[in-house]
Structure 1
Amino acid sequence: MTMQKQQLRARMKALRAACEDRRARDNGIFENLFSQPFMNAETFFVYVSFGSEADTRRIIEELFKRGKTVFLPRVAGQRMQCVRYVGQALEKGAFGIMEPQGDAEEIVPDVCLTPLLAADRRCARLGYGGGYYDRFFMDKQLCKVGLAYSFQIVNEVPAEPTDVFLDAVATEREVLYRR
């Protein structure tokens, strides 16, 4: 299973890196995402896009415009913390990903927008292999939404018992819901 996951991760990273119409795809994700009822929630935990990931900057700006409360992740050891984002400076953190400055809060956000390398129609998610989001999701009642380009939707993501399925995946073409 681990070999399957490693091969799929490598393939998806290469496909994403080669994607040339990213801006148009990001716009499609934005439109599809904000057409969903779960976006009426009040608190959002949103990843800061990195490298070739689906862009979250415009999403965060729109959440602010709509008066929503936004938290960004910060890695502390093997866990992710929620840090309220109000526009403060970001600094490079674990893995070179930009993270917010400020105090972490013990909060369960309504919606978590999640990065991924691949997902399937069951809403199984293939992440980067660190387990940070799976650990973050444990014992929390929140809406888990992956952001992906349509080519990241595969027939089947190899899932292990520790893998937490998403509730939905938004792409530029559609929004998939877990059955």
Structure 2
Amino acid sequence: MDKKTFRQQQIQRLSRMTAEERVAQNLSIQQQLFASAAWQRAQVVAITISSGIEVDTRPLVKRAWADGKTVVIPKTLPHRQMAFYPYTDASQLVRTKFGILEPTSGTPVEKKQIDLILVPGLGYARQEMARIGFGGGYYDRYLADYAGVKLTVAYTQMAFEHAEWPVAKYDVLLDQLIVAKDGSHEDN
């Protein structure tokens, strides 16, 4: 399946999730992420402000602040580049043409200062540790020479055993993948 078709199918699949599914899966993701060594070691965490179909990042930002971490969020730049800027509850944000909230001011943080990047996307492959994003290529360009931890948090609907989309040589692979545990199979 080509990437464009896969993206369209994933957006439809994620749009069909119920509010109850989202709440349960977000809680499962949060528990796993906050217990992870990557989260506990990180002092500077890069996070996007999530859209409606994505894993809710607002609780992750609040927890990072509560844990004394510095949160940085991306801002798109010309030529499909991006930089990360400090994000606090006083930050001014603007919605881009992509529908993403970005900082309006501040000084970008050097890539080498970021310990952990929570990489957004629509689908993730457990075996290859590949991801498919929204199609801009911004993250693959940024991550190409990034030395910190590349971690993704995903709903069960985003996780696949193998990539069901073509993985290109320039697609940057993940270091870690945290997938929500399906509540219907737990012994709680």
1:86-101 → structure 2 map (5 Å cutoff) = 86-87=88-89, 88-101=91-104
Corresponding residue SS for 1:73: strand
Is residue 38–residue 143 contact of structure 1 (8 Å, CA) maintained in 2? yes
TM-score normalised to the size of structure 2? 0.87
Does residue 46 of structure 1 match 2:17? no
Query: 2: CA distance between counterparts of 1:130 and 1:101?
Result: 20
Q: How do 1:62-77 and structure 2 match up within 5 A? A: 62-77=63-78
Q: Flag as ranges the 4+ runs of structure 1 deviating above 6 A.
A: none
Q: Which residue of 2 aligns with 1:25?
A: 25
Structure exhibiting the larger radius of gyration computed from Cα positions: 2
**Secondary structure at 2:139 match in 1:** helix
2:116 corresponding residue in structure 1: 111
Question: Unmatched 5+ residue regions in structure 2?
Answer: 183-188
1:82 equivalent in structure 2: 84
Q: Partner amino acid for 2:95? A: K
CA shift for structure 1 position 104: 3.4
8 Å Cα contact 1:75-1:94 kept in structure 2 = no
Residue matched to 1:131? 137
Question: What per-residue deviation string (whole Å, max 9, x for no partner) do you get for residues 63-116 of structure 1?
Answer: 000000110001111111111012212211241211122223241210001111
Deviation at 1:53, TM superposition (A): 0.6
Inter-partner Cα distance in structure 1 for 2:14 and 2:169: 27
Percent identity of paired positions between Structure 1 and Structure 2: 30
- Root mean square deviation of aligned Cα: 1.4
Describe the superposition over 1:11-43 as per-residue Cα deviations: whole angstroms up to 9, x where unpaired. 111110000011111111111111100012111
2:176 pairs with 1:168:
yes
Structure 2 matches for 1:134-149, cutoff 5 A?
A: 134-149=140-155
Q: Are the aligned partners of 2:92 and 2:105 in contact in 1 as well (CA < 8 Å)?
A: no
| Gaps in structure 1 of 5+ consecutive residues | 175-179
| Separation of aligned partners in 1, 2:69 and 2:97 | 26
